Amino acid sequence: MTLIRDSILKKAVRDGVLHRGTLRICNFSKSLDNDIDVSPAGGFIDFLKGMDVIKEEYAKKGFVKKNRALFLYNEGLVDKNSTLLLARKGDRVLGTIGVIREKNNKLPCSKLFAEELQTLNLQHRQVTEIGALSIKSDAGTENLVFMLYLKTMMYAIFVDKVDDIVVQVREKVAAFYIRNLLFEQIGATKIHPDYGNIHTCLLRVDVKAIREKIYEKPQYGTRGWIRILHELGLLAEYKKTCHQSWLCNKFTLDKKDAELYHYLCHL
């Protein structure tokens, strides 16, 4: 069994379907507290709890200035096709991450990286942006960021069935995403005026290309994705993610929710 697992994962690394760092990240995720659950916000109050964590942690890190507004406004998360996921332990929210879909044919990253996105020719492709990442400073687990990204990427790939994933990250951590999570940098680093003038990179994963690699190579079999997830130890998490999407009615902000959220962000 070990020989089969090693050979499949080695082939996936060689084919560019996985990176060696991805294997390490998956191992890290197994050591996380089993009481931590990562799932979509279940209602408007849940959503605001997540936005409260984002505002608090971004202010602590100096990404945004402290002001009287209760929350940071994220237009992308208002869209009905976007999803805010929360990492919870009991009733306490430890972290957030968002799967943000295009709104009016634009992603949040297009404000800073419009030219870079245009060069990718992403028309007629399903594109999503991962954003709104925050982890409470007293969360008590250094590996929570790995769990959030693995869960979110599984959600985007298998539930939303996207072709591309993009993310804006600080320049000093971009190498981590490239080395471990299949991203590649698009264009040059820029200064982000909305988040404390931090040096920011645009990264992208071409999910469609990875999907095609798996389907076109017979050694993975007809259920290649499932086999790879099984060998990575992520099959149970994959099933849980899909089950949550089938079982639960997805929460989206209705018109009144959106208006109240906008008001609370602009006090």
pLDDT of residue 161: 86
Q: Is beta strand 127-135 parallel, antiparallel or unpaired with respect to 164-170?
A: parallel
Interatomic CA distance for residues 161 and 71, integer angstroms = 30
As a whole number, mean pLDDT of residues 117-136 equals 89
pLDDT tier, 146 (very low <50, low <70, confident <90, very high otherwise): confident
Q: Which domain covers residue 152, as residue numbers?
A: 2-265
Domain count, the chain: 1
**What share of the chain in percent tops pLDDT 70?**
93
Q: Report the CATH number that the domain containing residue 252 is assigned in CATH.
A: 3.40.630.30
Interatomic CA distance for residues 51 and 12, integer angstroms = 37
Burial of 207 from C-beta contacts in 10 A (0-12 / 13-18 / 19+)? buried
Chain segment 108-125, per-residue pLDDT in tens:
999 999 999 988 888 888
| pTM of the complete model | 0.86
Strand partners, 83: 99
List the single range of 154-158, 189-193, 255-259 with lowest mean pLDDT: 154-158
